[in-house]
Chains A and B, each alone.
Chain A
């Protein structure tokens, strides 16, 4: 990590400013950023969404998104200022000297072409390799990245490969021409924790093996702690602090850095947790199964949820946790088993449930963007359940609306806005207010904080716990984030491939001994301190 002889500079960003057009005027999204990167070095760029991380990462390739322009500064790649060149002259550097690994490999691979064609393209057309030589190199990279069946892997189409494998395939694609610099833009954010470990190990391996310099963009501090040598913390398009990883993790200097570090340890005050067990079951499922066609997505699920309790359901994508939420809300009928709600049988389908029962069970979705009608105002969105379930209209509805907005800590002036005029956290608060408008006893929360920044996530979770204490509502909280579970759950259900592998109180689940799958899941969550990944790699060797 620390060399006595400084290795050559690969990238030098000097006083870079970039502007984006918003409503006919230009405003700065990157403001005077200077960074430098030596061969073999990994620089972590951290910050919340909108801090300008991706814009800087793309600028390292001399690329600006449509609607953005350079206001000043230089981006020197091995001494050549890319921004001084016209677009056509920047292009040859991309894919050969500097490569990019996108956040979602599933979206960044073209669905119409086979993986091999996409991976070798640059090497064959501009890297001076023959097709056969390029394919050979690709296969050896597949093997180095531990992809299954390296000889045949490239023949597949993107949709035939899992998300974690695609992400590694994209790393292989970036390595094809032995670039001097790779920009990793949140490469593991879309992955499950257990998959993330595999991809992190692969990335670490290629960086060390090929001595490439890398910019690693992420909002996840524990990930950056494993990968980066140095970290630059960004806020509002400017660097607030740059320091070696060990120092910045142990003793962050800037107050903003410290506040980022603080929220990572989600500490939602949760004293009431122990007192939630009222003994009265609100919802109970017995031997419940569900299937899509011939495929059984849920098998033999039995659980109970008490009044006013938070039951966290954890598992990876595909474990059936969202389907379970859909079964409870009646959107998906089970194929076997029984469900009881407040002492009576729960009709399977939403169409068979009376309105009074529908009111008592509400759902909040992961993405408020798609769950809220973009053309309706907040007043209309929240007003509808008020009219539907409680027959409120006129002044009474308006009064209740204001009360709900205050409850979810939104400015009453936001009532006239549409979702497009709100931030991500505000939109999710509107979705929460809409669910609360029905005055439910149970809310199914499907990954509701996954799309939010850590700071916003912490605020929303704290608010949910406050609401629970005041209103006595029960949460069926679906999440893949172990930290969230640790912060808010009364009881925990761990799911794998449609089955419950372990369930119990939070204390029971987080204290050893764990079920084998729970063990894997817990062990895959990166720690905040550097060295965690090293230990995992060492343990495997």
Chain B
């Protein structure tokens, strides 16, 4: 094989290309889906004043009288230049989504900074002391927390800390003027809920990934070389489990950006998920498109990172013969 480019580089390039293609497909699907929904932006905004004439005039003004294929083509043309266009409300899409995205990213970053190390650490501990108390307790509780829907976790958390103990606010409606400390206090309950949701998933997968490697002959060989069990786990098993661990972490990080709609609604947190719901209600297509692209890009990006990590951690792929 005369491979001239490095395996990582060629993988990243081809995956970026595929990612771009997926983004286009996602935008097309969302655009057509919204177009086929009954109702329109004009009808939604005008409400009771929605006479046929007024609706038609507004649609003409927004260009909604054009066939949808044509509208999609013109949206795609501007989006390709990096311009997400104007919301139907007249503000640039970037201004509508920007602050919301910042809120979502803050929430995601704090949650991830706590959840990822904690989940991996506890997962390793479960694998190391398999079948012991810590493993049994964590395996049971994580199974329970995975089985319960996330909004239920949110309400339980809210009931305990906001209603019974009255320690924290149940609403996480942060505003621009608030100082960061106040914002942080309001974010505690959503973060706690998200932690409970993603921790369990990552922990169980870390444990499973390590245990599957622990059955390998080279792990037995390490024991036969007299290596202590803790180091068998950390030095022999963990490096070979990075690939599967990275991919489950990637899915959960992407979820923190695109899947938290329900949590945002429960806690009235002004994130990008809420923005998308509002936009769908109003049929504000440019905003919907932008949100969908962000969500899709998060999935594609994190999975790409996970794939890179699993190649870097695997000498067989990093250093081909």
Residue numbers of A with Cβ under 8 A of B are 58, 61, 63, 65, 88, 91-96, 99-100, 102, 104, 107-114, 121-122, 126, 157, 159-160, 173, 293-295
CA distance A294 to B1 in the complex (A): 6
Where the two chains meet, the residues of B that have a C-beta atom closer than 8 Å to any C-beta of A are 1-2, 216-218, 220-228, 236, 239-240, 313-316, 319, 321
In Å, the complex CA distance between A3 and B316 comes to: 48
**Given that A108-B218, A111-B240 are known contacts, is A61 also in contact with B315, CB under 8 Å in the complex?**
no
Specify which chain A residues have a CB less than 8 angstroms from the CB of B220 in the assembled complex.
Answer: 65, 108
Cβ distance A186 to chain B, nearest Cβ, rounded Å: 12
Q: How far is the CA of A253 from the CA of B164 in the complex (A)?
A: 84
Other-chain residue from B217, B226, B240 in contact with A112 (beta carbon distance below 8 A): B240
Residues of B contacting A114 in the complex (Cβ-Cβ under 8 angstroms): 315
Asked if residues A100 and B239 are in contact (CB atoms below 8 Å), the reply is no
CB<8 Å pairs between A and B, sample of 25: A63-B223, A91-B226, A93-B226, A94-B223, A99-B225, A100-B221, A100-B224, A107-B216, A108-B220, A109-B221, A110-B240, A111-B218, A111-B240, A111-B314, A112-B240, A112-B313, A112-B314, A121-B225, A157-B316, A159-B315, A159-B321, A160-B319, A294-B1, A294-B2, A295-B1
The smallest beta-carbon distance between B111 and chain A, in angstroms, is 30
Evaluate whether A293 and B1 lie within 8 angstroms (CB atoms) in the complex, with A91-B228, A121-B225 already known.
yes
Contact B316 A111 (CB under 8 A): yes
Given known pairs A91-B226, A94-B226, A126-B226, the reply for A113 and B321 (CB within 8 Å) is no
Complex Cα gap A107–B222 (Å): 12
Q: How far is the CA of A159 from the CA of B313 in the complex (A)?
A: 14
Q: How far is the CA of A517 from the CA of B319 in the complex (A)?
A: 33
The CA of A107 and the CA of B316, in the complex, are separated in Å by 14
List the A side residues contacting B236 at CB < 8 Å: 110
Min CB distance B143 to A, Å, is: 24
Assembled-state Cα–Cα distance A107/B225 (Å): 15
Known A-B contacts: A110-B236, A111-B218, A159-B316. Give 6 more (CB < 8 A).
A63-B224, A95-B226, A102-B221, A108-B221, A111-B315, A294-B1
B240 touches A157 (CB 8 A): no
Give Cα A111–Cα B218 distance, bound, in whole angstroms: 9
Which residue in chain B gives the minimum CB-CB distance to A109? B218
Do B314 and A160 touch (CB < 8 A)?
Answer: no
- Measured CB to CB, the nearest residue on chain A to B225 is A95
| Bound-complex Cα distance A111 to B236 (A) | 9
CA A63 – CA B228 in complex, angstroms? 13
Complex contacts, A126 vs chain B, CB 8 Å: 226
User: Are B218 and A110 interface neighbours, CB within 8 A?
Assistant: yes
Chain A residue contacts of B223, Cβ below 8 A: 63, 94
4 residue pairs, one from A and one from B, having the closest CB atoms: A94-B226, A112-B239, A107-B217, A95-B225
Which residues of chain B are near A58, meaning CB under 8 Å?
A: 224
Given the complex of chains A and B, what is the CA–CA distance between A225 and B189 in angstroms? 73
Task: State in angstroms the CA–CA spacing of A108 and B219 once bound together.
Answer: 8
What's the Cα separation between A99 and B221 when bound, in Å? 10
Q: Residue on A with the closest CB to B217?
A: A107
- Tell me the bound Cα distance from A107 to B217 in angstroms: 6
Distance in angstroms between the alpha carbons of A65 and B216 in the assembled complex: 13
Q: How far is the CB of B245 from chain A (nearest CB, A)?
A: 13
Check if A107 sits within 8 Å of B218, measured CB to CB. Answer: yes
A94 x B221 contact (CB < 8 A): no
Complex contacts, B228 vs chain A, CB 8 Å: 88, 91
Q: List, in ascending order, chain A residues with CB within 8 A of B319's CB.
A: 157, 160
Partner of A61, one of B2, B224, B239, B316: B224
Contacts of B226 in A (CB 8 A): 91-96, 122, 126
Q: Inside 8 A of A121's CB, which chain B residues have their CB?
A: 225, 227
Closest to A173 in B: B225
Return the contact of B222 from the options A110, A111, A157, A295 (Cβ within 8 A).
A110
Chain A residues, CB < 8 A from B313: 112
Considering the complex, give the chain A residue whose CB is closest to the CB of B231: A125
B219 → chain A, closest Cβ, in Å?
8
Residues of B within 8 A of A112 (CB): 239-240, 313-315
- Docked pose: A272 CA to B2 CA in angstroms: 51
Closest to B223 in A: A63
Distance of A395 from chain B, by nearest CB (Å): 45
Closest to B226 in A: A94
Which residues on B sit within 8 Å (CB–CB) of A122? Answer: 225-227
Q: Shortest CB–CB separation between residue A153 and chain B, in angstroms?
A: 15
Q: How far, in angstroms, from A443 to B65 measured CA to CA in the complex? A: 70
Tell whether A157 pairs with B224 under 8 Å between CB atoms, given A104-B217, A110-B240, A293-B1: no
Q: Do the beta carbons of A113 and B239 come within 8 Å of each other?
A: yes
Interface centre among B220, B225, B228 (most CB of A within 10 A): B225
A176 to chain B, nearest CB (A): 10
Q: Report chain A residues within 8 Å CB of B2.
A: 294
- Could you tell me the distance between the alpha carbons of A88 and B316 in the complex, rounded to whole angstroms? 34
Which chain A residues lie closer than 8 Å to B218 at the CB level?
A: 107-111
Q: How far is the CA of A91 from the CA of B222 in the complex (A)?
A: 11
Most buried by A among B216, B221, B227, B313: B221
